[in-house]
């Protein structure tokens, strides 16, 4: 019999109950007992959903209050002293590492949080000491949760992060120099103890995640697999299924001999179906293959026919007992259930599958290959119909969009003249001083703005009333910028809820969910829009507000757009056409917007691409270069329709460009604004080394904190920047948009910023 399995289930609950409970607990409005109860209720509910769906292998320990890697930090007692010394309750110590703690005389910042591979989920980075030791927690969470499920009559497969990934994803603590992987020998005894305890508790198999196996690995990491897994196999341990996802493992096949005595290997066959045959060839003689055929990263219904073919291929080689049907990764990255969506067009809703639906999908596929298609005929027929309907729908196929794409030429990607000629024109056209000052787009999103937006969404005020309110906000923003003496203005984005959703709502080809929340970090969830079809722009999206803003201001007004890659990355993309095609469609829509803005008198246009870097394929080499080529092309296509005298800006929320500087340079943006205030100014050296010819505004202060930087601090920061950048290249601006700030500190900080810029203007 072919079993079905789920690698992990979303934790938040249908109504983001975990988020609400966590936040209530942090605010002191919910007792710890009640929080624990709520978590237990959610775990049970999620196990039941899977059990009722008929899933054979149900995960446990996939739950986490904040993050599963953070769970392991505490589980192994890899807690830095600054947290353990605070003598907090275990759960508070845990949250202190996740989000910092500032209460009752304890003041510790959080541990670093970084993106989980190429997803929008963030994990807490394990942080090690030179003299690091490990010790298993007294009531190990994986054991407790296994027993909790068992008591409810549900046998689960606990999920652990593997020792190699746990170390490789970590770093030395500040001021420490330990290379995490050298800690393996110290860490392994803890895994031995934990696995034994799980076995004693009754766990027959354990899913051990080693996602680093899809990355380019240094030899020392590869060797660690051998050292680790020869110690974790034996009769006193549960059988281990080693799971990889978000990439292929073919380039790391030299690690496989060390893994052959494990019970099984899980691979992602949604992302890399082509690895199937070669992975089979590398399996040990009795080893199980867990075939990840149901997408854990996207919301589309699985194409059963294709998935069954894939699984059948594996069965032919391995036999039914050696194949498990699985989700490609944890379902953590998908929303909870489609049942909550009441507003989606029925046609489109039928194409989707969220976590709850995906658990049913693995079951159908497993039944189809076990007992033959007849056993699940209805499900297969309904699926074939949905897949067919989606493929032939007018929503997915817009001839006008395709025709336009076929006419895109190389020349459409290029500005008319090279930068020096453009800049000469821009400087006079915009009458810019040296060290021009500007901001990144958004101004404080006050309570009043949210109140009015809500009223408008609920139909409590008319569009006319809402528009008037927005105009009033823009008037105020312009007046404030007059007073501050900035050089290039922004309208402040009061009309925007979110930088991607705002555009998605104005483009054809997108749909929106009402409850399609996905955990981003801790209690923060995002609700990505979904690209369902060919994308086009029915009418201008931002011209009304920008035009009004330009009319009421004496200085150049900057138009503000979200770039094609960021729109795509922060959405659920289509899985039926390549992402480069979707990016080009977005680029063409934005190109029209850029040209319309220019025609409306907006001569500075910023196209934000903060997500460009996160789209980088996980491994260096051809894939990465291919991505950069189409990503850069779509940015250029969006921007290049303007006259030389119109200035194109772009913005990035980070400053590490070393590994893909050529792509940043290739964007050919007249001005780049980047986050820099918290990084070493030396990161700017790459611009000097590569003789970057265009203009740059490295952020001079951190916008994440209410702290007001002094004029002197900003001057010092600019002085550092001038070590690497020419005075005539430098713009003066904050790190990022100011929407999360209050006006009080914003005005104070920008006053100091303008004064610092003036100081250098006089000096040079
Ligand atoms: N223009 C956007 C803003 O100012 C940019 C946000 C971002 O880069 N994340 O809010
Ligand atoms: Zn930013």
Report H helices in 243-354. 276-282, 304-318, 346-349
Q: Provide the pLDDT for residue 706.
A: 87
Q: Provide the pLDDT for residue 705.
A: 86
Cα dihedral 197, 198, 204, 209 sign: negative
CA of 609 to the centre of ligand 2 (A): 9
Collapsing DSSP states into helix, strand and coil, what is residue 744?
helix
Annotated catalytic sites, by residue?
704
Q: Which helix (H) or strand (E) holds 534?
A: strand 530-536
Give per-residue pLDDT as tens, 478-516. Answer: 999 999 999 999 999 999 989 999 999 999 999 999 999
Quote the CA–CA distance of 620 and 107 in Å, as a whole number.
40
CA of 444 to the centre of ligand 2 (A): 14
Nearest to residue 184, comparing CAs of 167, 201, 207?
A: 167
- Contact yes or no for 160/194 (Cβ under 8 A): yes
Is residue 320 annotated as involved in ligand binding? no
pLDDT at 704 over 90: no
Quote the CA–CA distance of 494 and 504 in Å, as a whole number.
17
Residues found in the chain:
764
pLDDT at 655 over 90: no
Q: 19: pLDDT confidence band, cut at 50, 70 and 90?
A: very high
Among all chains, which residue has been given the structure tokens 């959610």? 42
Between the CA of residue 260 and those of 222, 226, 254, what are the distances in Å? 14, 10, 11
Q: Provide the pLDDT for residue 539.
A: 98
Q: Provide the pLDDT for residue 550.
A: 98
Between the CA of residue 375 and those of 367, 515, 541, what are the distances in Å? 7, 33, 50
Give per-residue pLDDT as tens, 295-327. Answer: 999 999 999 999 999 999 999 999 999 999 999
Is residue 720 annotated as involved in ligand binding? no
Give per-residue pLDDT as tens, 336-360. Answer: 999 999 999 999 999 999 999 999 9
CA of 670 to the centre of ligand 1 (A): 18
Quote the CA–CA distance of 700 and 736 in Å, as a whole number.
10
- 72 CB under 6 A from ligand 1? no
Average pLDDT, the chain: 97
- 608 CB under 6 A from ligand 1? yes
Q: 678: pLDDT confidence band, cut at 50, 70 and 90?
A: confident
Quote the CA–CA distance of 168 and 549 in Å, as a whole number.
50
Quote the CA–CA distance of 515 and 33 in Å, as a whole number.
27
Tokens of 197: 């305890």
Mean pLDDT of 583-588: 98
- Contact yes or no for 474/545 (Cβ under 8 A): yes
- Contact yes or no for 283/265 (Cβ under 8 A): yes
Q: Provide the pLDDT for residue 589.
A: 98
Nearest to residue 630, comparing CAs of 670, 674, 663, 606?
A: 663
Mean pLDDT of 109-138: 95
Quote the CA–CA distance of 347 and 525 in Å, as a whole number.
26
Beta strands in 151-202 (DSSP E): 156-161, 171-172
- Contact yes or no for 336/354 (Cβ under 8 A): yes
- 651 CB under 6 A from ligand 1? yes
Nearest ligand, measured from the Cα of 702: 2
The pTM (predicted TM-score) of the whole model is 0.94
Beta strands in 614-683 (DSSP E): 647-652, 671-674
Percent of the chain with pLDDT over 70: 100
Nearest to residue 124, comparing CAs of 139, 114, 136?
A: 114
Q: Please enumerate, as own/partner, the contacts of 595-599 that have beta carbons within 8 Å and a separation of 24 or more.
A: 595/641, 595/642, 596/540, 596/543, 597/542, 597/543, 597/546, 597/559, 598/641, 598/642, 598/643, 598/646
Collapsing DSSP states into helix, strand and coil, what is residue 452?
helix
Nearest to residue 586, comparing CAs of 602, 568, 610?
A: 568
Q: Provide the pLDDT for residue 102.
A: 87
Quote the CA–CA distance of 42 and 13 in Å, as a whole number.
7
Nearest to residue 597, comparing CAs of 537, 553, 542?
A: 542
Give per-residue pLDDT as tens, 413-446. Answer: 999 999 999 999 999 999 999 999 999 999 999 9
Tokens of 53: 């769906």
Q: Provide the pLDDT for residue 521.
A: 93
Fill in the DSSP letter of residue 699: B
Angle 718-722-723 (CA atoms, 0-180°, nearest 5)?
A: 125
**Which of 736, 740, 741 is the pocket-test mutation for ligand 1 (most atoms within 8 Å of CB)?**
736
Give per-residue pLDDT as tens, 220-274. Answer: 999 999 999 999 999 999 999 999 999 999 999 999 999 999 999 999 999 999 9
CA of 441 to the centre of ligand 2 (A): 9
- Contact yes or no for 174/128 (Cβ under 8 A): no
Quote the CA–CA distance of 8 and 302 in Å, as a whole number.
17
Q: Whose CA is nearest to atom 6 of ligand 1?
A: 737
Side-chain half-sphere exposure of 403, counting CA atoms within 13 A: 3
- 703 CB under 6 A from ligand 1? no
Quote the CA–CA distance of 152 and 172 in Å, as a whole number.
41
Give per-residue pLDDT as tens, 27-57. Answer: 999 999 999 999 999 999 999 999 999 999 9
Q: What are phi and psi of 371, to 5 degrees?
A: -105, 0
Q: Which of 7-11, 640-644, 655-659 has the lowest mean pLDDT?
A: 655-659
Q: 6: pLDDT confidence band, cut at 50, 70 and 90?
A: very high
Q: Which helix (H) or strand (E) holds 290?
A: strand 288-294
- 670 CB under 6 A from ligand 1? no
């Amino acid at each position: 019999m072919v079993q079905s399995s789920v690698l992990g289930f979303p934790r938040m609950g249908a109504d983001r109950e975990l988020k609400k409970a966590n936040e209530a607990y942090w605010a002191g409005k919910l007792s710890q007992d009640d929080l624990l109860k709520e978590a237990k209720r959610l775990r049970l509910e999620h196990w039941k959903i899977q059990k009722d769906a008929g899933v054979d292998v149900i995960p446990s320990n996939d739950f986490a209050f904040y993050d599963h890697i953070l769970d392991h930090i505490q589980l192994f007692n890899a807690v830095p002293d600054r947290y353990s010394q605070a003598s907090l309750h275990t759960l508070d110590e845990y949250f202190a590492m996740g989000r910092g703690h500032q209460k009752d005389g304890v003041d510790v910042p959080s541990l670093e949080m970084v993106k989980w591979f190429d997803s929008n989920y963030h994990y807490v980075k394990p942080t090690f000491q030179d003299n690091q030791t490990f010790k298993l927690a007294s009531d190990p969470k994986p054991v407790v949760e296994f027993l909790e499920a068992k008591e409810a009559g549900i046998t689960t497969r606990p999920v652990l992060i593997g020792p190699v990934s746990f170390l490789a994803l970590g770093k030395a603590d500040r001021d420490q120099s330990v290379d995490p992987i050298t800690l393996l020998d110290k860490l392994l005894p803890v895994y031995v103890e934990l696995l034994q305890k799980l076995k004693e508790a009754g766990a027959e198999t354990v899913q051990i995640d080693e996602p680093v196996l899809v990355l380019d690995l240094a030899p020392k990491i590869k060797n660690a697999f051998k050292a680790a897994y020869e110690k974790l196999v034996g009769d006193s341990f549960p059988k281990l299924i080693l799971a990889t996802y978000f990439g292929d493992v073919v380039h790391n096949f030299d690690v496989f001999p060390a893994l052959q005595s494990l019970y099984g290997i899980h691979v992602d066959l949604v992302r890399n179906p082509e690895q199937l045959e070669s992975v089979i060839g590398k399996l040990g003689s009795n080893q199980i293959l867990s075939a990840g055929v149901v997408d854990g990263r996207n919301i589309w219904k699985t194409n059963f026919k294709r998935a069954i073919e894939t699984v059948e291929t594996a069965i032919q080689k391995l036999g039914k007992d050696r194949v498990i049907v699985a989700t490609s990764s944890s379902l953590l990255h998908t929303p909870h259930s489609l049942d909550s969506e009441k507003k989606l067009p029925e046609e489109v809703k039928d194409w989707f599958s969220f976590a709850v639906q995906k658990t049913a999908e693995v079951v159908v596929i497993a039944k189809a290959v076990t007992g033959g298609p007849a056993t699940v005929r209805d499900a297969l027929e309904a699926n074939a119909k949905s897949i067919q309907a989606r493929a032939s729908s007018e929503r997915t196929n817009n001839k006008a969009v395709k025709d336009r794409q076929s006419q895109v030429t190389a020349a459409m990607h290029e500005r008319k003249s090279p930068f020096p000629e453009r800049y000469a024109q821009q400087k006079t056209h915009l009458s810019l001083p040296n060290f021009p000052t500007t901001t990144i787009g958004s101004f404080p999103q006050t309570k009043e703005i949210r109140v009015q937006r809500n009223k408008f969404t609920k139909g409590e005020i008319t569009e006319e009333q809402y528009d008037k309110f927005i105009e009033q906000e823009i008037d105020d923003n312009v007046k404030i910028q007059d007073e501050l003496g900035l050089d290039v203005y922004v309208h402040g984005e009061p009309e925007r809820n979110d930088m991607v959703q705002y555009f998605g709502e104005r483009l054809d080809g997108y749909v929106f969910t009402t409850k399609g929340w996905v955990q981003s970090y801790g209690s923060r969830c995002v609700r990505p829009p979904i690209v369902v079809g060919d994308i086009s722009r029915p009418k201008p999206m931002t011209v009304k507000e920008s035009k009004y803003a330009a009319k009421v201001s004496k200085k150049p007004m900057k138009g503000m757009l979200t770039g094609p890659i960021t729109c795509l990355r922060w959405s659920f993309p289509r899985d039926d056409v390549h992402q480069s095609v979707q990016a080009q469609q977005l680029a063409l829509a934005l190109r029209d917007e850029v040209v319309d803005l220019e025609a409306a008198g907006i001569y500075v246009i910023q196209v934000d691409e903060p997500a460009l870097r996160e789209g980088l394929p996980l491994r260096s080499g051809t894939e990465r270069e291919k991505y950069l080529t189409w990503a850069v092309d779509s940015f250029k296509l969006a921007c290049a329709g303007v006259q030389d005298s119109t200035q194109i800006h772009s913005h990035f929320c980070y400053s590490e460009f070393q590994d893909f500087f050529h792509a940043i340079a290739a964007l050919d943006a007249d001005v780049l604004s980047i986050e820099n205030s918290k990084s070493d100014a030396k990161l700017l050296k790459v611009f000097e080394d590569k003789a970057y010819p265009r203009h740059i505004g490295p952020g001079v202060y951190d916008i994440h904190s209410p702290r007001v930087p002094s004029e002197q601090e900003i001057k010092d920061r600019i002085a550092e920047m001038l070590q690497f950048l020419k005075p005539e290249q430098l713009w003066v601006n904050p790190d990022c948009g100011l929407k999360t700030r209050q006006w009080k500190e914003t005005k104070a900080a920008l006053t100091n910023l303008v004064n610092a810029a003036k100081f250098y203007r006089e000096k040079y």
